[in-house]
Structure 1
Amino acid sequence: MKRYDVIVIGSGAAGMIAAIKAAREKKRVLLLEKLSKLGSKLKATGGGRCNLTNTLGNEDFMAKFGRNGRFMQDALNLFGHKELIEFFNDIGVKTHAPDGFRVFPVGHDSQTVLFALQNELEHLHVEVRTSQKVIEILSEDLQIKGVKSRSDIYFSPNVIIATGGLGYPVLGAEGDGYALASSLGHKTTELYPAMMPLTTKEKWTNNCRADTLAKVELRVDLKKYKNLKALGDLIFTKNGIRGPVVLDFAREITPILSKLGEVPIVANFTKGMNEDEILRHFKNESVKDPDSTIEQNLLSILPSSVIHELCRLADVDPSMRFNKTEGKNRARLIKILAATPLTVNGHEGFKTAMITRGGISLKEIDPRTMQSRLVKGLYFCGEVIDIDGPCGGYNLQWSFSSGYLAGSLLS
């Protein structure tokens, strides 16, 4: 009979570090992965650059996760960004923060992270079995007994579910963990795709695909959701928008989109300039060169392709001088420059979603240990839990922190 102290299901960031921590605590550990290789999603993280974490303090870090952020306190106190950086340094992965905020492996190659974690698993004699899809968690009298895969049964009083969410099904995401947890009485909140490009009803974005805009602010143009906004770089696509600001914004948009079908938003492409500041900019440019056109006035702020599209929306000729343009048209242009209207009407779902919004209910998990409040010996970590954050190393840090805490088996 195959008996272990701990069985970890899933070999993402959370699962591998949970297995490593448990093995360091002198536990006999089995790591099960349904794919043929470990860490497929970790390898693809951040376009392969692997933004491991960031330098925010724990309080500010938790605030970025919204109302569920406080749940993370114990995990972060045990294993925050400083401890994570030290951990990787100890297993041979040097890190740096080139912008003073986001932390990457030196070389910006996720393969170095994956190799180091695999080497540590081997060094600690963690038994790793791939191509092992777990189909059932065995329990008796609300106590974990082991797991059943398609080909075998493994026994253990402790099982850690680290199966991730539904994002990137091509990398193995099928929501296995939700079904396994449900079979033991756990509830899963509604699940939404997050961190992916958005499509818009407006098609003029197709004419701006050559340009990337920095410091774009997006916000929902609905009274009920007026506080939902994001700031960052934006890239235009054939059918809409993408880029870091869109990835962050998408996690706020998808639940609303599922209810309403489409969501009106406004974008500020002028690096946060308001209407008064835009008007002053036109006046200052006109003083510098009285014969300058609207397009020439705006080239220091926006690319030509975007200028032409926004002028078209305002029914303004970009080759005209600003002070020679009809007053109502000038006012409309300034309003559009400060708050460009767009209508989000879709996305590609979990196919391109980097993370999942929603997951195993936090009410049923003890944040001090990551153990189930319903079944003794059942633990959760990473994306399978109802916690998700923005771009910038937040979600990977949470995976590592929660996995480390779960692997500590502090109950």
Structure 2
Amino acid sequence: MEKLYDVAIVGAGAAGIIATIAACQSHENVLLIEKLPKIGAKLKATGGGRCNLTNTLDEEQFMKSFGKQGRFMSDALKLFDATALREFFHDLGVQTHCPDGFRIFPVTHDSTTILTALQTKLKSLALDIQTNCSIESIIKEDELFIVKANEKSFKAKKVIVSTGGLGYPTLGAEGDGYEFAKSLGHSVTSLHPAMMPLLTKEQWGAQCRADTIANATIKVDIKKYKKLKACGDLIFTKNGIRGPVVLDFARDVTPILDKHGEVPILVNLTKGMNEDQIYKVFKNHSTLSTLETMQTILPLSIAQALCNECEVNAQEKFKNLEGIKREKLVKVLAWTPLTIIGHEGFKHAMITRGGVSLKEIEPKTMQSKIISGLYFCGEVMDLDGPCGGYNLQWSFSSGYLAGQLYD
């Protein structure tokens, strides 16, 4: 006789694993299905392998960081917030700490520590785990879900979809969860890669790859999107920009890029200095060359590149430059113009912007409003946050709530 599961969890990333652990607390027959040979592949790669689990923001600020849809996560955070997450891992023998006062990591700064603890926990529970099991379809017949995979078929009273997004396809991301959702009557928003380097039309940045610019500010130079802004460390690449500030900013830029083809941006590389403050710097260093003065606020490579872009004689004193060139240089130092022309797609995207419409999911339970017994958690839903432990906390919180299997 074919086994009937209380719940089948499809996808063994952060959200799926913790949903499974939560489901095992109150259900006997639990099935976890993963297409890859091992569970938690993307979790292992999180945070460059360091696994930034969460952060210290309070609930309101945390939700605000996700934008206008952030309040959707209120119930999930109330049930399983950063404190609960740290206590959960402490009970599994994993110590965490907050070295910079904001981001929370395992003290080992090694994602393997987290993954090993979760694997050990799963082994202690009475459940079935199917790896190397690629799902073909999920349908509902006579109040039961039929999950077809390869040459196998599973029956379950409830299903949790935790398949993640499209980022890092080498780690199993193929967007199959979106197709399952649509086949069951759900809407999926437009999907965009997020958290990745960006490509620029300008090439002078290739000369500046050795230097990291701390506290750089980026904003979109299109009136309609003038409120879009991010601040953090920036690094120039051979053909664009990367760094934490770019990863955050990419979430907002990729949808605009799809619409307009290219996106003009302005970058402050001088730690927030405005034109008046920059003029004052030149005045206070009047005995130095223009390049030497710029080096007091910028790395040499960037100072030289900007002089070249403004067609300024870097060895000349600032006061001896033509007035129009002085004005241009100061404007560029205050807000350096760049043009975003592309990115490398989902291949290098850490997360996906977009997903299963939140309007069709009950935030108090993570259950579908369309199909009873169907639940969603993690990145497959239309909710994403910036760098800094936001997305992993959301995966754990939503997974834990979905695993309660409230009706």
Shorter-chain TM-score category? Answer: over 0.9
Identity %, equivalent residues: 61
Q: 1:361 aligns with which of 345, 357, 360?
A: 357
Name the aligned partner's letter for residue 305 of structure 2: E
In structure 2, the residue matched to 1:130 is: 131
In structure 2, the residue matched to 1:405 is: 401
In structure 2, the residue matched to 1:371 is: 367
Residue 153 of structure 1 deviates from its aligned partner by: 1.3
TM alignment of 1:161-172, pairs within 5 A: 161-172=161-172
Name the aligned partner's letter for residue 267 of structure 1: V
TM alignment of 1:292-371, pairs within 5 A: 292-371=288-367
Residue 36 of structure 1 deviates from its aligned partner by: 0.5
Report the Cα distance in structure 1 between the residues aligned to 2:239 and 2:12, rounded to whole angstroms: 35
TM alignment of 1:144-155, pairs within 5 A: 144-155=144-155
Residue 144 of structure 1 deviates from its aligned partner by: 4.1
Report the Cα distance in structure 2 between the residues aligned to 1:377 and 1:213, rounded to whole angstroms: 49
Name the aligned partner's letter for residue 15 of structure 1: G
Residue 219 of structure 1 deviates from its aligned partner by: 0.4
SS at match of 2:227: coil
> Aligned-residue CA RMSD in angstroms?
1.0
In structure 2, the residue matched to 1:100 is: 101
Matched, 1:382 2:383: no
Residue 25 of structure 1 deviates from its aligned partner by: 2.3
> Structure 1, unaligned stretches of length 5 or more?
none
Report the Cα distance in structure 1 between the residues aligned to 2:234 and 2:196, rounded to whole angstroms: 12
Matched, 1:121 2:117: no
TM alignment of 1:262-301, pairs within 5 A: 262-286=262-286, 290=287, 292-301=288-297
Report the Cα distance in structure 1 between the residues aligned to 2:32 and 2:61, rounded to whole angstroms: 33
Residue 388 of structure 1 deviates from its aligned partner by: 0.5
When residues 262 and 144 of structure 1 are mapped into structure 2, their CA distance, relative to the original with a 3 A threshold, is farther
How does the TM-score come out when normalised to structure 2? 0.98
> Structure 2, unaligned stretches of length 5 or more?
none
Name the aligned partner's letter for residue 135 of structure 2: V
Report the Cα distance in structure 1 between the residues aligned to 2:227 and 2:39, rounded to whole angstroms: 40
Report the Cα distance in structure 1 between the residues aligned to 2:273 and 2:89, rounded to whole angstroms: 42
Contact 1:2 1:153 in 2 (8 A): no
* Cα deviation code 1:271-318 (max 9, x no counterpart): 1111111111111222xxx2x111211222111010011111222112
Contact 1:144 1:375 in 2 (8 A): no
Matched, 1:205 2:201: no
Report the Cα distance in structure 2 between the residues aligned to 1:127 and 1:300, rounded to whole angstroms: 62
How does the TM-score come out when normalised to structure 1? 0.97
Contact 2:28 2:126 in 1 (8 A): no
* Cα deviation code 1:159-186 (max 9, x no counterpart): 0000000001011100010011111101
In structure 1, the residue matched to 2:26 is: 25
Contact 2:13 2:164 in 1 (8 A): yes
When residues 144 and 257 of structure 1 are mapped into structure 2, their CA distance, relative to the original with a 3 A threshold, is farther
Residue 145 of structure 1 deviates from its aligned partner by: 2.3
SS at match of 1:399: helix
* Cα deviation code 1:233-278 (max 9, x no counterpart): 1111110001111110101000000011000000000011111111
Matched, 1:253 2:249: no
Name the aligned partner's letter for residue 357 of structure 1: R
Report the Cα distance in structure 1 between the residues aligned to 2:345 and 2:338, rounded to whole angstroms: 20
Name the aligned partner's letter for residue 387 of structure 1: L
Report the Cα distance in structure 2 between the residues aligned to 1:153 and 1:257, rounded to whole angstroms: 42
SS at match of 1:4: strand
Report the Cα distance in structure 2 between the residues aligned to 1:118 and 1:125, rounded to whole angstroms: 13
In structure 2, the residue matched to 1:234 is: 234
Matched, 1:4 2:5: yes
* Cα deviation code 1:79-119 (max 9, x no counterpart): 11111111111111110010000000111000000000011
Name the aligned partner's letter for residue 398 of structure 2: S
Contact 2:13 2:40 in 1 (8 A): yes
Contact 1:293 1:321 in 2 (8 A): yes
Matched, 1:39 2:40: yes
Residue 2 of structure 1 deviates from its aligned partner by: 2.0
Report the Cα distance in structure 2 between the residues aligned to 1:203 and 1:90, rounded to whole angstroms: 51
Residue 127 of structure 1 deviates from its aligned partner by: 1.6
Contact 1:217 1:268 in 2 (8 A): yes
Report the Cα distance in structure 2 between the residues aligned to 1:243 and 1:27, rounded to whole angstroms: 45
**Which segment is superposed worse, 305-314 or 9-18?**
305-314
In structure 1, the residue matched to 2:57 is: 56
Aligned residues between the structures? 406
Name the aligned partner's letter for residue 82 of structure 1: T
Report the Cα distance in structure 1 between the residues aligned to 2:370 and 2:28, rounded to whole angstroms: 23
Contact 2:4 2:157 in 1 (8 A): no
Report the Cα distance in structure 1 between the residues aligned to 2:156 and 2:127, rounded to whole angstroms: 14
Name the aligned partner's letter for residue 162 of structure 1: S
SS at match of 1:408: coil
In structure 2, the residue matched to 1:85 is: 86
Contact 2:28 2:127 in 1 (8 A): no
